[in-house]
Amino acid sequence: MSKCIVRAISNQKGGVGKTTVCQNLGAGLARQGQKVLLIDFDVQSNLTQSMGCQMPDELPFTVADIMKQIIEDEPIDPLRGIIHHREGIDLLPSSIELSGIENSLVHDMNRERILKSYINQLRRNYDSILIDCMPSLGMLTINALTAADRVIVPVQAHFLSVKGLELLLRTVNKVKKQLNPDLNVEGILLNMLDRRSNFTKEIVQLIREPFGSNLKVFDSEIPMSVRAIEASAEGSSIFDFDPDGKVAEAFNQLVKEVLKNERQRQENKTIHLR
């Protein structure tokens, strides 16, 4: 069985497309035959809603309950609360209760590793686990980065703040040094691009040049399209909602790129071992 890879989709900037990327990358990987779990790790529960669950606060069991059980050192059933979506993806939903968990983590001895201890119990059940992070660098995001093998950073070209990106990358490095040596930035993903605008072109270049030299910027770019918004309102991925559109095509490219990079990493590792 292939090794499970855990990815955090993170950027402390709000509205850059983290949730949309999480849902569509997950759906794309599932279409390639992977067993995929999405974890909604945001108190806003947007991913839970985009997966068709309209009332997250009425769910009987969510990621907040799992976190609570681990904090209280109770035994957990790692599969409890997981919802099976009709597109063949699993989801661990979130609810507003997660905001209370963030506060209680402050006093916990193992506060950065709560999510990791949950995810480690699930790794053998999945090929890919994607964590949809909230727009902050608080304790929940630190938990996600501590649990993850890789980080994908969606950025939106027009509202890009390079300073914000630097802060995120510094946080990732700090987590790597102090909490999770396995963590790596898989790539920056240019999202919601309007290629017709000259301004966008300039910013894309601005990101690709300085960051591209020491960090990967995905070749795949996700275009701006109202179809992406409509799909999540319908509780569907873009592959289900508009399979022939340009957003589905872009996510297909991204899935291929992610899988190709993974194969290359595995090959390099094998060569190394020989």
Q: Which residues bind ligand ATP (CB under 6 A)?
A: 14-20, 42, 44, 46, 135, 192, 222, 224-225, 228-229, 232, 247
Cβ closest to ligand ATP, residue 113 vs residue 239:
239
14 binds, among ligand ATP, Mg ion, none (CB under 5 to 8 A by kind): ligand ATP
Which residue of this chain has its Cβ atom nearest to Mg ion in the complex? 19
Work out which of 13, 18, 85, 116 binds Mg ion, going by CB under 5 A.
Answer: 18
Question: CA-based angle 264:269:274, to the nearest 5?
Answer: 125
Residue 24 binds Mg ion, judged by CB under 5 A: no
Of 8 and 70, CB closest to Mg ion = 8
Is the Cβ of residue 230 or residue 267 nearer to ligand ATP in the bound state?
230
Which partner from the list ligand ATP, Mg ion, none does 55 bind, CB cut-off 5 to 8 Å by kind? none
E strands present in the chain: 5-9, 36-41, 83-84, 90-92, 128-133, 150-156, 184-191
Residue (66 or 228) nearer to ligand ATP, CB: 228
Q: Write the single-letter amino acid at 147.
A: A
79 binds, among ligand ATP, Mg ion, none (CB under 5 to 8 A by kind): none
1 CB-near residues (< 8 Å, 6+ apart): 124
**Is 236 a binder of Mg ion (CB under 5 A)?**
no
* 46 in contact with Mg ion (CB under 5 A): yes
Q: Which is nearer to Mg ion, 133 or 147 (CB)?
A: 133
- Residue 224 interacts, among Mg ion, ligand ATP, none and using kind-specific CB cut-offs from 5 to 8 Å, with ligand ATP
Q: Site size for Mg ion, by CB under 5 A?
A: 3
Strands 184-191 and 36-41: unpaired
| Subset of residues 64 to 93 that bind Mg ion, contact rule: CB under 5 A | none
Report the C-alpha gap between 187 and 176 in whole angstroms: 16
Instruction: Count Cα atoms within 13 angstroms, Cβ side, for 58.
Output: 4
Residue 63's SS3 state is helix
Q: With binding defined as CB under 5 A, does residue 232 bind Mg ion?
A: no
Q: What separation in angstroms does the CA of 5 have from each of 36, 130, 266, 274?
A: 10, 8, 12, 23
CB of 18 to ligand ATP, least distance (A): 4
Q: What is the number of alpha carbons within 13 Å of residue 200 lying toward its C-beta?
A: 15
Distance CA 7, CA 136 (A): 17
